Amino acid sequence: MMPAAMPGVPAANALDSLPTADFFGFESLLSERERLKLQELREFLAVEIAPFATEWWNNAEFPAHLLPKLAALELSAPAQRGYSHLFAGLVIAEITRVDTSIATFFLVHHDLFVESLYGFGSDEQKARLLDDAANLRTTGAFALTEPDHGSDVAGGMETRARRVSGSTGAADGGGDVWILNGAKRWIGNGTFCDYMLVWARDEADGAIRGFIVDAALPGVSRSRIENKIALRTVQNADIVFRDVRVAEADRFAGIGSFEDTNELLRGSRIMVAWQAVGQQLAAFDVARQHAVERQQFGRPLAKFQLIQQQLVTMLGNAVASMGMMVRIAQLQQEGKADMAQVALAKSYTSARMRETVAMGRSILGGNGIVSDFRMAKIFADAEAIYTYEGSFEINTLIVGRAVTGVSAIV
């Protein structure tokens, strides 16, 4: 289904009879319940997001009023609700197809924050935090990257946690507390979230530990990263922690080292690869519509062979990426998707995405650099997907290491 027309873009009804960008019909692999839910999501996106997404993006404002409506879709923690991994991936692709920023909000909150609670939270933490988080009455962020450590954050992490016994601070309940000091950068939802999962190095033994930090705690300061050219609707923050006192009860007891986060990061990396699929579906939707409706030399752009070739290359890239992700979803379902396979999926789909959105932008000509026509936004947002959740290069080198036995990362 095409998203609703954006300002300056003709209505899509002329295209309704043409095949969708899911050219091989991967969606048919879903159950009937999942297909209906996906359709419900599409209708929601067309009404609640598509008409406004460019304005939010231009103004770099997050539509907080959407949260109860997003919660009402009941899409958080899909596995707990009996949905397949394929469904979860297609949900992210479909949201991305309409607006990458909202998809990023969704996956930071649900796939990183909520899934961390499920995966690593104690029974007490789950009882205290999960219901509100899953229903978006509270929002979460995932604070791993630092100003001086992005790709090398696992080894280079500078944020420190020091355990202090028998604290008397009222805010931490008087028991053992951890004192956090350091800085994080790029943290999605970071300006407004209620909680953030903060990763820090234990001063005692050097191990990486995870903490659920209430954003209102004294010593937490956050500032919005301004002037982004991608994901402008997502509120990314620089966050500083100065002697922040976090109760032992807010530490993830299930995290003993950075390796313990691998399963979580594998899951969110898969979702980002699905974003690369959604980004290509969006680019194809917009470029095809433009090619069919825009006239030059007295005929539609679509009548020119070079335009058709680009559209078909875009479609091929999208379908190949989707096919790869469908197989990843099957492997997940069997509990078998390993990090090298996931890294190949992220690296491959994001490389194809870059080619796809560049062709789409070209097909729109000058209008392709104006966000009103959607493609400029799709083109720019692709750059964030290319870089986050392990950059293209890092994921490529993870695969290179797996297939040669030799690491070229360091």
Ligand X SMILES: Cc1cc2nc3c(=O)[nH]c(=O)nc-3n(C[C@H](O)[C@H](O)[C@H](O)COP(=O)(O)OP(=O)(O)OC[C@H]3O[C@@H](n4cnc5c(N)ncnc54)[C@H](O)[C@@H]3O)c2cc1C
Residues contributing to the site for ligand X (CB under 6 A): 108, 142-145, 150-151, 186-188, 231, 236, 384, 387-388, 391, 393-394, 397, 409
The residues, ordered by sequence, that sit 6+ positions from 143 with a Cβ below 8 Å of its Cβ are 184, 187, 190, 196, 197, 198, 199, 213, 239
Beta carbon of residue 408, minimum distance to ligand X (angstroms, whole number): 7
Beta carbon of residue 141, minimum distance to ligand X (angstroms, whole number): 6
Instruction: Tell me the residue type at 20.
Output: T
User: Where do we find the tokens 């796939």?
Assistant: 111
In the complex with ligand X, the residue whose CB is nearer, 231 or 375, is 231
Beta carbon of residue 6, minimum distance to ligand X (angstroms, whole number): 22
In the complex with ligand X, the residue whose CB is nearer, 143 or 179, is 143
- The Cα 386–Cα 280 span in angstroms is 13
Beta carbon of residue 176, minimum distance to ligand X (angstroms, whole number): 26
The residues, ordered by sequence, that sit 6+ positions from 253 with a Cβ below 8 Å of its Cβ are 120, 122
In the complex with ligand X, the residue whose CB is nearer, 36 or 409, is 409
Task: Identify the three-state secondary structure at position 299.
Answer: strand
- The Cα 148–Cα 158 span in angstroms is 9
In the complex with ligand X, the residue whose CB is nearer, 22 or 194, is 194
Beta carbon of residue 63, minimum distance to ligand X (angstroms, whole number): 17
User: 305 to each of 127, 144, 224, 302, 309, how far by Cα in Å?
Assistant: 60, 47, 46, 8, 6
Tell which residue, 352, 342, 271, has the closest CA to residue 318: 352
State the residue number with the nearest CB to ligand X: 150
Beta carbon of residue 229, minimum distance to ligand X (angstroms, whole number): 10
In the complex with ligand X, the residue whose CB is nearer, 138 or 236, is 236
